[in-house]
Amino acid sequence: MRPLLLSALLLAAPALVPAAGAQAAWTLAQTQAAPARAAVLTLSAPVGASVELNTQTTTRLEVEDVQVSGGNAQEAARTRADLTRLFGAQGPQRVSGKAFYRVQSRGADGRAVLLNTVVVALPGQGDVNIRILQTLRPDGALTDLRIESDNPALQQVFGSLKPEILRQQLGQGGGLEGFYGRPLVPGQARTATATVDMQALLAGLFGGLGAALGEGPAAFANVQASPLTGRTTTTYRGLNAARQHVFDTTTTFGDWAISVRGQGEAAALSFRAELLSQGSRMTTTNLFRADGLPVGGSAAQIMRMRVTMTEPGGQQVQLTYRMTTEATLRAR
């Protein structure tokens, strides 16, 4: 089995799972009744108000199990050794970056456009800007969501996502708008369940990716993804020493899978990646200024994945591994 191909598949698989802080289509169910006149978090910052954050992300990969079947014993042993060496040689991966929040505009009806710019480094391309624009009503409800980039290939991918899919699958309470409009009662928790139609979401992403690579829509026609379900509890902790509002979240996931089958001469090649619910979880701490602008926080995420790849010759490799990600955002 070619190590380069296997490495690309293994490292690409976790990117298909929403990461810490990613937005989902939440259906909210409060676990406690709020006081009738409790204050709520609102985005009241004036147009032009902005915050710059430094980001630090550390990712670790740990192999839990490797199973190889089919083929001859010598080849199976070599594949097992290659995988163990590949992951054993990878120490913690640390990435630094920047993020910006800015109130872009505000309409007569009180709706505000919040611009979130994330600066990421792509291999061989330097820094790339990704912009997320959210239009929020005064009560915190999301009414519009757009994702843009100054990178032409990424922009082609983002541009292929229909606005209604973005709003339905990535909005309505899963991101920052999920905090706005919430009662500021210390200790009060709310629970949210989420079901994201990953097939619809990935169809748009892969369609744009195929166009960016010069391939037709059939290039990813054999991709099948199950819905992703999560359960999040958000708790307001009160004010910290800097008089910032503090929210904690804890998220657990249901099992999720994506499978890809080859085409043409590679029809016997198949790939399947599964998110294992047992041991997979995400926690975050989110800080907000009094005027509603986010000013930092932290996130910790553990994703347990099982990747199975079957080659035309019948050899099958199954790898179970754990990906741990820790991230901090601090105001400059």
pLDDT in tens, 93-132: 888 899 999 999 999 999 999 999 999 877 777 888 999 8
| pLDDT classification of 275: cutoffs 50, 70, 90 | very high
Segment 79-87 mean pLDDT: 78
Q: Indicate if the pLDDT at residue 316 is higher than 70.
A: yes
Where along the chain do its domains lie?
3-45+52-95+152-331
Higher per-residue pLDDT: 148 or 315 = 148
Beta-bridge partners for 331? 53
Q: How many separate helices (H) and strands (E) can be counted in the chain?
A: 5, 14
Nearest by Cα to 87 from 314, 329, 307, 316 = 307
Give the predicted TM-score (pTM) of the model: 0.80
Least confident piece of the model among 9-23, 151-165, 282-296, 304-318: 9-23
| pLDDT classification of 63: cutoffs 50, 70, 90 | confident
> CA–CA distance from 98 to each of 21, 142, 331 (Å)?
15, 24, 10
Segment 67-73 mean pLDDT: 78
CA 22-108-36 angle, to 5 degrees, is: 65
pLDDT at res. 24 = 34
Helices (H), 13-93: 73-88
Burial degree of 63 (CB within 10 A; 0-12, 13-18, 19+): middle
243-259: pLDDT as tens digits: 999 999 999 999 999 99
Least confident piece of the model among 42-51, 97-106, 312-321: 312-321
Higher per-residue pLDDT: 306 or 271 = 306
Q: Indicate if the pLDDT at residue 55 is higher than 90.
A: yes
| pLDDT classification of 6: cutoffs 50, 70, 90 | very low
Higher per-residue pLDDT: 280 or 80 = 280
Mean pLDDT of the chain: 79
196-236: pLDDT as tens digits: 888 877 776 666 555 555 555 555 567 889 998 889 899 99
